[in-house]
Structure 1
């Protein structure tokens, strides 16, 4: 490709044409341009997905295709695994609550949905809840709370992992409540927890705040209950046999 054509591609923001045009078979002008621009769009979408995945800051790479559905995952009557994997609930700003014992697949499913959302061009953020509370407290101490909360303006889905593993102090609990209140009916949330809602008092200590938080979280929510033994423990025991 000539330097002039490279310059035109740069001006038109055709990032991949320069790299791929020689690999496109030529049958006629229309076919060539159609395949060339289809490839350009494909690579753009893939690059965007990678950027979104990086920004989401997942703690591990998991996909919906590798998730093992089983009879120990209990769905509400109005939704099933096929419907859930369409991830249409995100567009409706509905929440997904995954409760159950550690090691039963909650984080894998939450992450898999997050990856799928990124592939579809949606903004996602992944947080361990304890880390988010610490970040909120730091932002508050540094007088940057408004700036921190503003980071979520364009985010479509927030995944809050491990709700209930670490209790919060009074400031952390109140700040987290304020943030989730900001997101109420504006964002879609996925929350994983090893505690039933009736036990969230252990985390937030204030019963009135806990009740108000649960009320916001479960409104417009799909609640899945994971039962059975930990996959990690089961796999470790099977290796020892």
Structure 2
């Protein structure tokens, strides 16, 4: 067997694809056997880390990829910026703290939640991204297939769960109850980021039952960073105004 076949058998992807370039680089640099081996191992490790990051981001199922580097903190208050600084260290995941991002449509909630999620993926965390309506559908499907217990176990194992778009769709009583049970089972087991266009006073519009609404708020708000990101002009409106000026 040759190098390519052996490295493929051993799942050494960098060696399989770049062994010729690696040997040439080593020869040009005049590396010793030990230096060559160290160089190769560093490259193989870097490849595996990058593959792991790509896999985690892919399986998280982000709707769009958004990054912290593209998030304009200058559009928000000093108080929020202090919160951003803490959250971006990802200590909230280690401490199993929740984040509730409240604000008008287009204020940057989903961008920021996604960007935190991608950074968490880069740092080796397992993340789930879903909208609240889609989560309810998945829970109902799991229940109909008698797989709800397995779904809960999987849900509890994520380091971070991002629930987007609470408030755009209301649910029936059964949907609200299974969502509550899911969130209750995860409580203190891992972090949740929730984005919503509704203040707590209006959550009853979604969950209908005041007792259930209070219980859900109690679970999610426990040890949570509650942040109002509302802005007078949304990002999409700013883009529209900019586009109009450039193309007017």
User: What TM-score do you get using the length of structure 2 for normalisation?
Assistant: 0.88
> Which structure 2 residue ranges, 5 or more long, are not aligned?
none
Q: CA RMSD in A?
A: 1.9
- Whether the 8 Å contact between 1:73 and 1:224 is mirrored in structure 2 is no
Offset at residue 83 of structure 1 (A): 2.3
Q: 2:53, 2:129 → 1: CA distance?
A: 15
Q: 1:213 to 1:175 in 2, by over 3 A?
A: same
Contact 2:4 2:17 in 1 (8 A): no
Q: d(CA) in 1 for partners of 2:158 and 2:236?
A: 32
1:104 to 99, 102, 107: 107
> Deviation string for 1:150-207 (max 9, x for gaps)?
3324311100001111111101111110111111010110000111112111111111
Question: Within 2, Cα distance between the matches of 1:31 and 1:233?
Answer: 55
For 1:52, which of 56, 59, 72 is the aligned residue? 56
Gaps of 5+ in 1: none
- Aligned-partner Cα distance in 2 for 1:193–1:153: 22
Change (3 A) 1:14 1:65: same
More deviation, 63-72/200-209: 63-72
Give the secondary structure class of the aligned counterpart of 1:159: strand
Q: Which residue of 2 aligns with 1:34?
A: 38
Q: Work out whether 1:9 is the aligned partner of 2:2.
A: no
CA distance in 1, matches of 2:173, 2:78: 33
Whether contact under 8 Å (2:156, 2:190) holds in the other structure is: no
- Higher RCO by CA contacts (8 Å cutoff, separation 6 or greater): 1
- Stretches of 4+ moved more than 6 A in 1? none
Q: 2:198 aligns with which of 168, 190, 195?
A: 195
Aligned length: 238
Instruction: Kindly report which structure 2 residues correspond to 1:54-203, keeping only aligned pairs within 5 A, or say none.
Output: 54-73=58-77, 75=79, 79-203=82-206
Work out the CA distance in 1 between the residues paired with 2:243 and 2:38.
53
Q: Which residue of 2 aligns with 1:22?
A: 20
Q: Which has the higher helix share?
A: 2
* 8 Å CA contact retained: 1:76, 1:222: no
Structure 1 residues 138 and 12, CA gap change in structure 2 (3 angstroms):
closer
Shift of 1:11: 5.2
